């Protein structure tokens, strides 16, 4: 045992370095000799931890090294994917606990055109397209006379003031429901989604999602797939006005209408009451004209009925007259006067009784004889 100790006598407690001393020294050497620098490579084994820190390797054909990008550096940056070619600005160092050489990344840029933002945007857009959420046929018509309008925006931004002013002027009949949300920063995505979810449960006719202009990072929440899906799932139409006119976010693409500014969104959401008043005037005129027309119809119908009544009476009268003529002709034919005219005569006594038999005419009986043109008196001989 002692011999072995002798063999390693140079490695005495005084002469040997501890692991910690070596790694600490290595770290100092590396940090002194390699200042922060830009490194180019391909991302491999990317992993985002719950803490928000990112761990991955950068590699090229011949070598690779471990990288860490802490949450406060990758804050709001869309996550890269394995195989992506990137530039990183990093501080080479030593992770002493594991004795690993590592890059602490402070900035990460994609070499692809438009960078990480563009890539993440395109990826989310492709996923939304695949699910049909960008289909123009999904766009709903806005209600012509909204009763309740909800606004998702920052409670103290210019966007809310503009929207409120426009609606107060154009359509104060509506009720404006303001749902405050964080529109930038790490919590914006969750905050906007939760505001939308709240509104989805309310009885609201139309929703305006608005945010003033800002950098691509500022607008990032409105490019998140989660926010876009929340907008698409709303049971009522959504108008989106995010950033400046030149920034088109996923939220804009999914919404039923995209407005260039928050004020324009408020105008699109409401009719102008001056125009609606003019429309009311036209309805009033139509109403009056319709009543006149309706009464004219009633009068015409009365006239027509009167005419029919008269016509009906006329024809009845005509029938009676014809009947009368026929009857009088028949009467005429039967008249005893006609018989007398043919040469017959009627004998009657003083009482007017017709004397038809010989027995009624004894000798000396006085009678009156009616002939066609008069009467004569006679006595039986």
Summarize as ranges the residues that interact with other proteins (CB under 8 A). 143-145, 147, 150, 155, 164, 167-168, 172-180, 195, 198-199, 202, 273, 276-277, 280, 283-284, 286-287, 290-291, 293-295, 297-298
Minimum distance from residue 145 beta carbon to other proteins (Å)? 4
**Sequence-distant contacts of 371-377: CB under 8 A, at least 24 apart:** 371/340, 371/345, 372/337, 372/340, 372/341, 372/343
Residues ≥6 apart with Cβ < 8 Å to 326: none
Minimum distance from residue 172 beta carbon to other proteins (Å)? 4
Q: Return the number of the residue (24 or 273) whose C-beta is nearest other proteins.
A: 273
Q: How far apart are CA 39 and CA 35, in angstroms?
A: 12
Minimum distance from residue 167 beta carbon to other proteins (Å)? 6
Residue with tokens 């036209």: 282
Q: Return the number of the residue (174 or 254) whose C-beta is nearest other proteins.
A: 174
DSSP 283-310: HHHHHHHHHHHHHHHHHHHHHHHHHHHH
Q: Return the number of the residue (86 or 151) whose C-beta is nearest other proteins.
A: 151
Q: How far is CA 334 from CA 8, 98, 214, 347, 371, in A?
A: 175, 150, 120, 19, 16
Spell out the alpha helix ranges (H) of 58-211. 71-74, 115-130, 158-170, 188-200
Minimum distance from residue 202 beta carbon to other proteins (Å)? 7
211: β partners: 242
Three-class DSSP category at 63: coil
Q: Return the number of the residue (124 or 166) whose C-beta is nearest other proteins.
A: 166
Minimum distance from residue 263 beta carbon to other proteins (Å)? 15
Q: Return the number of the residue (45 or 172) whose C-beta is nearest other proteins.
A: 172
Q: How far apart are CA 364 and CA 380, in angstroms?
A: 5
**What percentage of the chain's residues is helix, strand, coil (to nearest 5)?**
45, 25, 35
Q: How far is CA 284 from CA 173, 280, 281, 374, in A?
A: 21, 6, 5, 86
Minimum distance from residue 281 beta carbon to other proteins (Å)? 9
Minimum distance from residue 75 beta carbon to other proteins (Å)? 28
Q: Return the number of the residue (158 or 298) whose C-beta is nearest other proteins.
A: 298
Minimum distance from residue 271 beta carbon to other proteins (Å)? 9
Q: Return the number of the residue (100 or 175) whose C-beta is nearest other proteins.
A: 175
Counting Cβ atoms within 10 Å, is residue 213 exposed (0-12), middle (13-18) or buried (19+)? middle
166: which 2 tokens?
A: 């426009």
Q: Return the number of the residue (295 or 325) whose C-beta is nearest other proteins.
A: 295
């Amino acid at each position: 045992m002692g011999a072995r100790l002798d063999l390693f006598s140079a490695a005495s407690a005084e002469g040997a370095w501890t692991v910690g001393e070596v790694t600490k020294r290595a770290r100092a050497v590396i940090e002194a000799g390699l200042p922060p620098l830009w490194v180019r490579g391909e991302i491999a084994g990317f992993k985002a931890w719950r803490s928000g820190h990112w761990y991955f390797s950068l590699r090229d054909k011949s070598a690779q090294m471990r990288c860490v990008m802490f949450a406060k550096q990758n804050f709001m940056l869309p996550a890269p994917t394995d195989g992506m070619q990137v530039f990183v600005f990093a501080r080479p160092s030593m992770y002493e606990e594991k004795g690993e050489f590592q890059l602490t990344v402070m900035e990460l840029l994609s070499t692809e055109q438009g960078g990480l933002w563009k890539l993440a945007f395109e990826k989310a857009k492709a996923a939304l397209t695949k699910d049909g959420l960008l289909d123009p046929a999904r766009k709903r018509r806005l209600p012509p006379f909204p009763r309740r309008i909800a606004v998702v925006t920052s409670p103290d931004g210019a966007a809310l003031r503009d929207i409120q002013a426009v609606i107060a002027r154009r359509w104060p009949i509506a009720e404006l429901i303001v749902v405050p949300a964080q529109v930038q920063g790490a919590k914006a995505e969750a905050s906007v989604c939760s505001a939308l979810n709240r509104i989805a449960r309310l009885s609201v006719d139309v929703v305006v999602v608005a945010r003033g202009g800002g950098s691509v990072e500022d607008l990032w929440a409105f490019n998140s797939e989660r926010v876009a899906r929340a907008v698409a799932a709303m049971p009522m139409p959504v108008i989106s006005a995010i950033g400046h006119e030149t920034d088109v976010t996923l939220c804009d693409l999914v919404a039923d209408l995209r407005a260039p500014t928050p004020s324009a969104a408020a105008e699109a959401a409401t009719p102008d009451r001056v125009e609606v008043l003019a429309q009311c005037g036209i309805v009033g005129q139509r109403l009056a004209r319709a009543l006149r027309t309706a009464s004219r119809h009633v009068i015409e119908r009365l006239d027509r009925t009167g005419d029919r009544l008269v016509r009906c009476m006329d024809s009845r009268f005509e029938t009676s007259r014809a009947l009368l003529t026929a009857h009088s002709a028949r009467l005429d034919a039967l008249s005893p006067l006609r018989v007398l005219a043919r040469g017959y005569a009627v004998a009657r006594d003083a009482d007017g009784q017709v004397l038809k038999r010989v027995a009624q005419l004894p000798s000396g009986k006085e009678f009156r004889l009616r002939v066609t043109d008069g009467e004569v008196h006679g006595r039986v001989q």
